[in-house]
Copies of this chain bind each other. A is one copy, B any other.
Amino acid sequence: MKIAVVGVTGAVGQTTLKILEERKFPVRELRAFASERSVGKAVTFKGESVRVERIGPEAFKGIEVAFFSAGSAQSRQYAPEAVKAGAVVVDKSSAFRMDPTVPLVVPEINAHAVRSHRGIVACPNCTSIVTVMPLKPLHDAGRLRRVIATSYQAVSGAGVNGVEELRSQTLAWARGEAITPRYFPHQIAFNVIPHVDGFGDDGYTGEELKLVNEVRKILELPDLPVCPTTVRVPVFTAHSVAVNAETEVKVTRERAREVFAGFPGLTLWDEPAQGRYPMPVTAEGRDDCFVGRVREDMSLPNGINFWVVGDQLRKGAALNGIQIAELLIR
C-alpha cells in the first residue's frame, strides 16, 4: 500500500513508523510529511531514509491510507484534500471525532463503525482510549450506569515538547538550577498540574469534555453519565486512570477480573499482594492496556473500582490508528 504519515517528526508520528514496521504493515511506499521547520530532515523506515516533505498540491496522489497526527488545524486543512485524492484518512487529532458522519473507533470495541466511513476515520483521544478499554467488557457484563474517571497523564500526551519539558526541568533540578516552565503552564517536574487543554466557563477542561463525549460515542451510549478529572503528572509515556463505575447489574470483583482478562487488548495485572498492578513504567512500550486494583466499591452496592494504564503513544495513539487501518484493509 502507498501510505502517508502527516506529522511524521512528532511523538505519535515517530511511534507510527515504529509500529508499522513491527506489525509488518504492507507498506509499498511511504511519504513523510511535516511542518516547514522539519522539511529537509529525514526519518528512518525499515532501515531506509525517507525525506520529510511539506504538503504540496500533489501530496496525496495515489496514497491509500494517510495517518494524520499533526494537530487539529492541519487535519482540518489537509484531511479533506487527502480524501479528495482517494486516500482514507486515519485522524489522530480531535478535528473530526465528534462529527456524526465520522466514525470514532477503538477496534476492540466498535470495529463495525469503521464501515460507515466517508473517507475519514477518527482515532480517540489517548485518555479516552485507555479509559474506555476496560469499560466495554464491564458494560457487557453489567450495563454501565455512571463512570467517574480521574487521570494521571504522561507528558508525551503533549507531544515531544512535553517530554522535553519534563526532561529539561528535571535536569535543571539535578544541577541545582531554577526550573522555568516553557511549555506547560507551570512546573511539571516533581509537581502535578490539574489542567490539560483549555478551560470552559463551567470549569471543565477540553480534555475532560473529550473524555466524556468520546467514551459515550465509542460505547454508543450517548447519555452515559461520565464525571471526568484530568491531571498531568511527571511521567514520560503512559497514562493511568483511576475509574469508579456503577452498573445496572452487580459485577463482582471476580467477575470483573474475568471479563477484563478475557477482553482483547487488555491484560489483567491484579495480584497486589505480590506487588503486581499496572504502572506507567511497566506499561510503557507495550501494546495492551493493563488493568488492576480491581475492588468492589464499598460506598455503593453496584460499584466497582479499577486502575488502568496504557502507553499513550501506542494504544493511546499510533497503535490504535494502525489497528484502524488494518480493519480498513480487511
Contacts and interface: CB of A to CB of B under 8 A. Distances in A.
Q: What number of copies of this chain does the assembly contain?
A: 2
Contact of A299 (B146, B236, B294): B146
- Range of interface residues on A (Cβ < 8 Å): 35 or more
A152 B281 contact: no
A235 B192 contact: yes
B203 A272 contact: yes
A146 to B, nearest CB: 5
Given A192-B152, A203-B272, A225 B299 contact: yes
28 contacts: A147-B299, A148-B244, A150-B242, A152-B152, A152-B192, A166-B190, A186-B275, A186-B279, A187-B281, A190-B280, A190-B281, A191-B280, A192-B240, A192-B280, A194-B242, A194-B278, A194-B279, A195-B272, A195-B277, A199-B273, A202-B296, A203-B272, A225-B300, A227-B303, A229-B244, A229-B307, A233-B233, A234-B235
Can you list the 5 inter-chain pairs with the closest CB atoms, starting with the nearest?
A225-B299, A174-B174, A203-B295, A227-B299, A150-B150
Given A203-B253, A225-B298, 15 more contacts: A150-B242, A166-B190, A186-B279, A186-B282, A190-B235, A193-B279, A195-B275, A195-B277, A203-B293, A212-B298, A225-B299, A229-B293, A231-B240, A233-B233, A233-B234
